[in-house]
Amino acid sequence: MTVISIDKDICTGCQECTKVCPAYAIEGNPHEPQTIVEERCVMCGQCVQKCKSYISIIDHGAALYAEKRAARGLPEVVKEPLFAAHNVSHINEVLNALADPSKVTMVQSAPAVRVAIAEEFGMPLGTLSPGKLAAALRKVGFKKVYDTDFSADLTIMEEGTELVQRVTKGGTLPMFTSCCPAWVRYLENNRPHLTKHLSTCKSPQQMLGPVFKTFGAKINNTDPQSIFSVSIMPCTCKEFECSRPEMNSSGMRDVDVVLTTRELGYLIKHFNIDWAKLQEEEFDMPLGDYTGAGVIFGVTGGVMEAAIRTGYTLVTGKELGEKDVDIMPVRGTDGFRRAAIKVGDLTLKVGIVTNLKNIDPVLDQLENGALDCHFVEVMTCPQGCVSGGGQPKLFNEAEYADAWKNRRKATFDCDKNLPKRKSHENPSIKKIYDEFLKEPCGHESHHLLHTHYKGSEGGH
């Protein structure tokens, strides 16, 4: 499946893309068009973020620009430069679904989108705007506006339970996170014999997809076949993830289409929605309810921190006190950091890999029996999802550091200001288990919310 493409008519061979590709999947000579080796590409979109070869209306004329824009399926409202490296757009599929009265359009929006989408409308880098985001999605025409932060909380319930079971019952350790599809693809491509170390949990996006078409259909009294499920993601690889053949546990494709944060910006502009004048609104309940733990999934170390907040309760039966909820040892943006966290009588040894370029030495340690960890988080992009390939593209290279810093700060500020900061405290999470899933890692949740990987021999 083609998700990332380099337009050879536009590429000048500056090779900025080759410098940032964590999978070394881009080849070519300097000053000549580059080529993506699809078998190695993990579709993270960092090449899209860094590409500097472009055409514009001013420099190349309206006719050529319009031709390229139409070929990419972008709406006419798009006037910005078109870069050689780009992700394949699915905006037209979403527009068709929104216009189809027989479709019940349900949308979810990832944690990192709320700290970046406002940048598409001239707001300061890292502006936190969940209320305007929810309002914009309704004005676009989505019938139900939900939040991937809810399923991030759901992921923690499943993943935390799975980790405790592996630690206490002798399962495969260390367990690696599985919510970053580019990382999962990299491991499947390069060391498939190690996929048994991946958590069996689907990503939050792929958990909420089947929930839309089962529990969501039930609570909305809707025919599951009529539901058209859309995800708004900071990640270009999410489109690949939702197309994987095993992502059909609802009995149909669980997530129909993924749009990036950038593409949502195009969609909002297409409908001539004035971002500045939007009144803040809430996400729909119960699948729009979330805690601070769900919010911090958007930054590197956030999945680990969220898991520890709930894992502590799962292991000890007690709650972390308010002063202990911020798990500072797992925060940071260095390549690979380790921490030992006291969880009751257990010393939980964890690792956090930021940027996929730092993963191979860690995997070498694992192969050599030298990786002394229970749990390892891996994020492909430089600072986690806030720096994803589908986030707003910045035309000034110097702005990236500020954007990442501000998005991280806004994420942690959002977490800190929420009344509930642990996934197991989310009342809507309790509701979905009481009324539908029954228990974490139980029969129903394993069917809908867990998966298997290439090389893992059908799961573990």
> What residues are labeled active site?
159, 162, 179, 199, 238, 241, 246, 385
Distance (Å, whole) CA 410 – CA 25: 33
